[in-house]
């Protein structure tokens, strides 16, 4: 029988702890920045996994929640003088609300149609925000230096955002685990495997899909606030970067869609690889290539889909069925 606490959860949490504790122990700011980007990727991938991995709906627009949530939170902090935690909650709430409204409308679409529409929504949101005066239109919002004061200055505020992103990753893993082991998760996975058959068995697919979409949107919304608070500015082109969505898909597929551990491993692996690629200057026929990691991401995605569609964790589970007891 399924145990409530699967050993795989402890393994996942242990890996997360190992990744996130080093900067805290060493008080190394450079390491903290690098780890921050890994945790950022973990939250994006792990939250995307709820709709992509568990429910089987490929979303290319995951970044829209990060972007809009980020904008809302930064706006509240800047204009209304809200404290950071309140801004973070507002970001999550906004993203969740957007997913709820979108979900009702677009989750009726299946397969490629849904995927395409999610791209359209992200582009539409970027265009809207680029023209939306309260959000500073195309120049965005720049936080005044004084917002960091209550947290003991900019340097301390950076540590605070780091702790918060660690907390967010932790919450995300627990959420993912809970979904995976719950009745909700069973319904979502039934939808993923065969939506019509699931409905015939009584799964209220429209409701379940919307719930999954909302759950997958809240954490990136909160994450966006943390990132742009730390960043000091938020602009449309940073907030709604389509390729961030695509990279998140690669991370989920790489580590293993529909597993708790997979997105974490995938995000970590992908970010390490990206770090390596970014520090090297790539040239083809004497021309420097910008965003070379995207080339690799594309090739990687192709290879995974063709040869290991289950991703690393899924592949291990299939290959060594005993590992199912420790991998989830």
Partner 1 sequence: MSILLSVQGVTKRFGGLQALTRVTFDLPEGQILGLIGPNGAGKTTLFNVINGVYTPEEGRIIFRGEDITGRKPYEVAHRGLARTHQIVRPLNQLTVRENVMVGACFGRENHLLHRAAEIADEILELVGLKERAEQLAGSLNVAQKKRLEMARALAAHPYLLLLDEVLAGLNPSEVEGMLNTIRAIRDRGITIIMIEHLMHAIMNVSERIIVLDYGEQIAEGTPQEISNNPRVIEAYLGDPNLAKRLLEEVS
CA atoms within 13 A on the CB side of 260: 31
Element (DSSP H or E) covering residue 322: none
Least Å from the CB of residue 205 to partner 1: 7
User: What is the DSSP-derived secondary structure letter of residue 287?
Assistant: E
Name the segment binding partner 1 (CB under 8 A); options: 73-81, 144-152, 190-198, 300-308.
190-198
What is the distance between the alpha carbons of residues 64 and 101, in angstroms, rounded to a whole number?
13
- HEC string of 104-148? HHHCCCCHHHHHHHHHHHHHHHHHHHHCCHHHCHHHCEECCHHHH
CA 7 to chain centre: 24
Binding of residue 28 to partner 1 (CB under 8 A) = no
Binding of residue 322 to partner 1 (CB under 8 A) = no
Binding of residue 3 to partner 1 (CB under 8 A) = no
Residue of 205, 218, 219, 250 interacting with partner 1 (CB under 8 A): 205
- What Rg, from alpha-carbon coordinates, does the chain have? 19
Binding of residue 319 to partner 1 (CB under 8 A) = no
Residue of 3, 5, 112, 196 interacting with partner 1 (CB under 8 A): 196
Residue of 115, 186, 296, 301 interacting with partner 1 (CB under 8 A): 186
Residue of 193, 233, 283, 289 interacting with partner 1 (CB under 8 A): 193
Binding of residue 202 to partner 1 (CB under 8 A) = yes
Binding of residue 180 to partner 1 (CB under 8 A) = no
**Residue from 100, 80, 99, 76 nearest 88 by CA:** 76
What is the distance between the alpha carbons of residues 100 and 217, in angstroms, rounded to a whole number?
9
Site for partner 1 in 247-286 (CB under 8 A): 258
Least Å from the CB of residue 213 to partner 1: 18
Q: Dig out the tokens for 73 from the structure.
A: 């939170």
Name the segment binding partner 1 (CB under 8 A); options: 59-67, 180-188, 236-244, 290-298.
180-188
Residue of 123, 142, 199, 238 interacting with partner 1 (CB under 8 A): 199
Residues across the chain: 328
Name the segment binding partner 1 (CB under 8 A); options: 41-49, 72-80, 136-144, 201-209.
201-209
Binding of residue 246 to partner 1 (CB under 8 A) = no
Which of residues 1 and 112 has its CB atom nearest to partner 1 in the complex? 1
260: helix, coil or strand? Answer: coil
The residues, ordered by sequence, that sit 6+ positions from 112 with a Cβ below 8 Å of its Cβ are: none
Binding of residue 98 to partner 1 (CB under 8 A) = no
> Helix and strand tally (H, E) in the chain?
14, 4
Least Å from the CB of residue 176 to partner 1: 17
Binding of residue 33 to partner 1 (CB under 8 A) = no
Least Å from the CB of residue 302 to partner 1: 22
Residue of 194, 275, 299, 320 interacting with partner 1 (CB under 8 A): 194
What is the distance between the alpha carbons of residues 42 and 114, in angstroms, rounded to a whole number?
24
261: left (phi > 0), else alpha (psi -120 to 50), else beta? Answer: alpha
Which residues bind to partner 1, rule: CB under 8 A? 1-2, 182-183, 186-187, 189-190, 192-194, 196-205, 258
């Amino acid at each position: 029988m399924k145990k409530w606490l699967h050993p795989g959860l402890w393994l996942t949490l242990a890996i997360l702890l190992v990744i996130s504790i080093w900067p805290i122990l060493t008080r190394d700011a450079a390491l903290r920045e690098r780890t921050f980007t890994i945790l950022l990727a973990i939250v994006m991938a792990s939250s995307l996994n709820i709709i992509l991995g568990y429910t089987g709906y490929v979303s290319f627009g995951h970044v829209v929640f990060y972007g809009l949530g980020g904008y809302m939170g930064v706006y509240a902090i800047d204009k209304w003088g809200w404290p950071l935690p309140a801004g973070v909650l507002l970001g999550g709430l906004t993203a969740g609300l957007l997913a709820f409204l979108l979900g009702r409308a677009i989750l009726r679409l299946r397969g490629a149609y849904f995927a395409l529409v999610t791209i359209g929504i992200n582009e539409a949101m970027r265009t809207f925000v680029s023209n939306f005066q309260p959000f500073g239109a195309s120049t965005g919002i720049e936080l005044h230096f004084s917002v960091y004061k209550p947290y003991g200055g900019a340097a301390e505020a950076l540590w605070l955002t780091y702790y918060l992103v660690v907390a967010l990753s932790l919450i995300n893993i627990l959420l993912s685990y809970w979904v995976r082991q719950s009745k909700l998760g069973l319904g979502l996975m039934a939808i993923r495997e065969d939506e019509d058959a699931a409905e015939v068995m009584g799964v209220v697919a429209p409701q379940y899909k919307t719930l999954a979409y909302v759950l997958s949107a809240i954490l990136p919304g909160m994450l966006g606030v943390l990132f742009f608070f730390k960043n000091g500015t938020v602009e449309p082109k940073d907030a709604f970067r389509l390729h961030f969505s695509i990279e998140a898909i690669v991370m989920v597929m790489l580590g293993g869609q529909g597993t708790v551990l997979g997105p974490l491993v995938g995000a970590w692996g992908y970010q390490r690889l990206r770090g390596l690629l970014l520090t090297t200057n790539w040239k083809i026929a004497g021309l420097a290539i910008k965003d070379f990691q995207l080339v690799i991401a594309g090739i990687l995605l192709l290879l995974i889909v063709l040869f290991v569609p289950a991703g690393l964790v899924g592949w291990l589970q299939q290959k060594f069925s005993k590992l199912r007891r420790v991998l989830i």
